[in-house]
Amino acid sequence: MSESEQSASAQMEAAVARWQALKKQAEGGELRLDTQVGAALAQHAEQMRTKLDAMIVSADNLKRLNGFGTLTSAEDLRVKFASKASSGDDSAVKRLKQSVQVLTLMSETYNLAIGKLTQSDQAAADKLAQLDMGDS
């Protein structure tokens, strides 16, 4: 794997770790988002994920390359490009799936953060409702 491929892999792993940490914060109630903002972010993440899913299908179809000719070197090139597209350690499909993983974490985090804010608001409203303000 080349240096740039290792760098891209490290960046993707860092993104996954970052969003896993944010998800834990959202689960614990430390991270909260406004309902409309969080919903819009979650929707955008899902739209991006849908596009990436389509790209995965397209990239996976590249494993059936042809037209390189019958020479041994042509067959070697075909195998190399097919592997780069769909089955190698640094294939396009693998990178796209990693991106989908990040987007899934993002969407889940946004939804959790919205839920925690809603729960927090409801708990505060319940406490206020239970207080006797002396107005009766």
What pLDDT, in 10s, does the model give residues 51-65? 999 999 998 888 887
Here the tokens at position 50 are 């849908």
Closest CA to 106 of 53, 45, 15: 45
pLDDT at residue 72 greater than cutoff 60: yes
* Residue 66 CB-half CA count within 13 A: 1
Sign of CA pseudo-dihedral 91, 97, 101, 102? positive
**pTM of the complete model:** 0.74
pLDDT at residue 80 greater than cutoff 60: yes
